[in-house]
Amino acid sequence: MTLERLAVVGAGSMGAQIAQQAALGGIDVTLQDTSAEQLEKAAESNRGHLMRRVEKGKLAEGDAKAALGRVRMTTDLAEAARDSDFVIEAVFEDLGVKRSIFAELDRIAPANTLLASNSSTMGISKIADATSRPELCVNMHFFYPVLVMDLVEVVRGPNTSDETVERAMAMARAMGRTPVLINKEIDGFIVNRILHAATQEAYRLLDAGVAGFEDIDIAVEKGLNWPMGPFRLGDFSGLDVTYNARRHMFKTTGDERYRPSAQLEAKVKAGKLGRKTGEGWYKYE
């Protein structure tokens, strides 16, 4: 099978590593961002990750250099899309921005180019109708950090064709990632729904005074063998991320189960967002 040429739009925490992971799989990638500074940061960060693997003896130096060389950077969307068979969009979680990028990609990219979005919350049907090719549009939801996390949720919209689904699954595999197929657009897809359900229960236990957050984390880590309990994981991803995700789920479903916990809200309002601010549920050096 010939590898599809890939363009990744948005070089933030997700896009930079999606591009690098694809290049590790031997795929030629163009990484585009409107900010040249962001592209430089992405290149530097990816070099750091791959060189650490070389130092640890996990990756041959030649392979690291080849994978770094396979990612071309540009600020020009037309240049990125013109010669691509496959585009993965990973810009800010803003519907208007994503729709205008998809509309522009539709004008520039070849007629058979597949357009995927890495959105965590927007089903592809909200974006695909900004194009004339909704059958070629699909969600590919990667996990942070992409260079480490093996899973990709491929979510089909009502108009996504079988062939597009197969191409998205094949792209994920070519990148060395394991895809799962979700047949219906659903808020939170699979992983975040299960994570939300477990996290919500943890907050309910905390808010009801049943146990402290450390004991709930220990119970989940030792009893369910999860690498991190819900509070430690919240600190790791950012409590603002957890809080905003719950608010979004609560707003879109109206389901009381998703109402954000008062204690979580208090942490976010106090700017205690987890590791990145030095304190969340736990304190960090």
Ligand X SMILES: NC(=O)c1ccc[n+]([C@@H]2O[C@H](COP(=O)([O-])OP(=O)(O)OC[C@H]3O[C@@H](n4cnc5c(N)ncnc54)[C@H](O)[C@@H]3O)[C@@H](O)[C@H]2O)c1
Catalytic positions, written as ranges? 120, 141, 153, 192
CB of 263 to ligand X, least distance (A): 23
- Closer to ligand X by CB, 206 or 245: give it: 245
Residue closest to ligand X, measured at CB: 12
User: Residue 283 region, left (φ>0) first, then alpha (ψ -120 to 50), else beta?
Assistant: beta
- Number of Cβ within 10 Å of residue 96's Cβ equals 9
Which part of the chain contacts ligand X (CB under 6 A), choosing from 8-16, 51-59, 210-218, 266-274? 8-16
Q: What is the DSSP string of 106-136?
A: HHHS-TT-EEEE--SS--THHHHTTSS-GGG
CB of 35 to ligand X, least distance (A): 4
Please tell me the distance from the alpha carbon of residue 231 to that of residue 97, in angstroms, as a whole number: 32
* Interface pick for ligand X out of 11, 27, 81, 87 (rule CB under 6 A): 11
Whether the bond into 179 is cis, omega within 30 of 0:
no
CB of 15 to ligand X, least distance (A): 6
* Interface pick for ligand X out of 14, 43, 71, 154 (rule CB under 6 A): 14
DSSP state of 159: T
CB of 84 to ligand X, least distance (A): 14
How far are the Cα atoms of 40, 48, 81, 95, 97 from residue 130, in angstroms, in the given order?
30, 37, 17, 11, 11
91 binding ligand X? (CB under 6 A): yes
Which part of the chain contacts ligand X (CB under 6 A), choosing from 9-17, 192-200, 201-209, 228-236? 9-17
* Interface pick for ligand X out of 95, 97, 186, 210 (rule CB under 6 A): 97
* Interface pick for ligand X out of 4, 7, 8, 15 (rule CB under 6 A): 15
* Interface pick for ligand X out of 3, 13, 82, 147 (rule CB under 6 A): 13
- Closer to ligand X by CB, 19 or 220: give it: 19
DSSP alpha helices (H): ranges in 180-238?
Answer: 191-207, 213-223, 230-237
Site string for ligand X, 113-142 (x = CB under 6 A): -----xxx--------------------xx
DSSP state of 261: P
Q: Site for ligand X (CB under 6 A): how many residues?
A: 24
Please tell me the distance from the alpha carbon of residue 95 to that of residue 252, in angstroms, as a whole number: 15
Q: Where in 135-174 is the site for ligand X (CB under 6 A)?
A: 141-142, 144
* Interface pick for ligand X out of 7, 27, 29, 90 (rule CB under 6 A): 90
User: Residue 144 region, left (φ>0) first, then alpha (ψ -120 to 50), else beta?
Assistant: beta
φ/ψ of residue 32, rounded to 5: -120, 140
Q: Where in 23-52 is the site for ligand X (CB under 6 A)?
A: 32-35, 38
Contact indicator for 115, 102 with CB cutoff of 8 Å: yes
Tokens 């059958």 appear where?
135
- Name the site residues for ligand X (rule: CB under 6 A): 9-15, 32-35, 38, 90-93, 97, 101, 118-120, 141-142, 144
